[in-house]
Amino acid sequence: MSGFGVAIMQPGMPTLVREWLPTRLALGTVGYSSGMSMGAMFPAVFTIAFILPAVGGSWRLDVVLWAIPALLIAPVFWLASPKISKDVDKHVAARRRWWPDWKNPVVWLLGFTFASNNSPYFVTSVFLGDYLATLGKPELLGAALGWLNGSQLVAMAVLFLIANRLQMRAWPFLVFGPTMLAAFLVMMILVTSSLAIVAATAIIGIAGAISMTAILALPPFLSLPADLPRTAAGMFTISYTCAIIVPTICGALWDLTGKPWTAFVPLCLCAVALTVLGTIATKNSSR
């Protein structure tokens, strides 16, 4: 049910931003992407340290407590959301098609661009513990995961300050794609000191958060208003499918070679793809 809710919510957010904040698309995107990041980060950071001890170690009560904010936001959303004329709403809904246009290259461009952003985060979160164990540094896991997620708070603060500079700009990809590549290539593969590993995870978190927001701001500019929901749905479908395939490839490389660092090779390719595809997407949006 949680996955079902996410699958409905995420493709709808670009449409809501376009309808509610048509003149401030970048700021609206920063707002909801920051909320998504915090929703993914806070449970990971606070569950073991605070929530589980408070509920006697019961994972069931832990899930219930984290579900409460989701329940509370529903009435807030209903009361605070801008009102849309029923006639306009029905007219717009009647013209919209829900199935993604898989023949549209923009859907695939956005999907693969977002996949090159979220796959590194998922793989790093999954493999970091085993990777540190092979280096003989399992005690770094808490700090590394904390910085991977906590550094996104820094990114969010920066994003709110530079929201207007994200809109249809290539620089987030040209800057943070290579930055992510450097973090994987230099700090985690070639350098294995404790400081380098923790710094790498922090850089990956910041680079991923800023480039993610830049990607999520693109669908409103690359599709017609009536096609925006299904374009976003196609983008998320492709990206999360890749986010399942890429970790599988990473694990297979580790198993086949017996060398832990090979698991990060596909992530280096993702960072390159993020730079190239993100730049191409912004060039298309500027036409």
With a threshold of 0.85, does the pTM exceed it? no
When pLDDT is cut at 50, 70 and 90, the band that residue 94 belongs to is very low
What range defines the domain where residue 269 resides?
Answer: 2-285
Q: How far apart are CA 260 and CA 60, in angstroms?
A: 34
How many CA within 13 A on the CB side of residue 200?
Answer: 27
Q: Are 106 and 231 in contact (CB under 8 A)?
A: yes
Summarize pLDDT for 4-60 with one digit per residue, the tens: 777 777 777 888 888 888 888 878 888 888 887 777 778 877 887 788 888 888 988
pLDDT interval class at 287 (50, 70, 90): very low
* Cβ atoms within 10 Å of 211's Cβ, excluding its own: 29
Tell me: the pLDDT tens digits for 145-195?
Answer: 888 888 888 888 888 887 777 777 899 999 999 999 999 988 778 887 888
Task: Please report, for residues 73, 112, 268, 270, the alpha-carbon distance to residue 275 in angstroms, rounded to integers and kept in the order given.
Answer: 35, 11, 11, 9
| pLDDT score of 117 | 95
Residue 74 belongs to domain with CATH number:
1.20.1250.20
pLDDT one-digit tens code per residue, 222-266: 888 888 889 999 999 999 999 999 999 999 999 999 999 999 999
163 vs 90, higher pLDDT: 163
What integer pLDDT is reported at residue 108 of this predicted model? 96
pLDDT at position 8:
74
Give the model's confidence band at 96: pLDDT under 50 very low, under 70 low, under 90 confident, else very high: low
User: What confidence score (pLDDT) does residue 114 get?
Assistant: 96
pLDDT tens digits, one per residue of 106-137 = 999 999 999 999 999 999 989 999 999 998 99
pLDDT-based confidence at residue 81 (cuts at 50, 70, 90): confident
Say what the alpha-carbon torsion angle 253, 256, 257, 262 is, to the nearest 10 degrees: 10
- What's the CA gap between 123 and 131, in Å, rounded? 11
pLDDT for position 239 = 94
Give the number of other CB atoms < 10 A from CB of residue 14: 26
Name the one residue in this structure whose structure tokens are 């500019």: 221
Q: Considering only 37-41, 77-81, 95-99, 202-206, which range has the smallest mean pLDDT?
A: 95-99
Number of domains, the chain = 1
Backbone phi and psi for residue 162, each to the nearest 5 degrees, phi listed first? -115, 25
Return the number of other C-beta atoms located less than 10 Å from residue 249's C-beta.
16
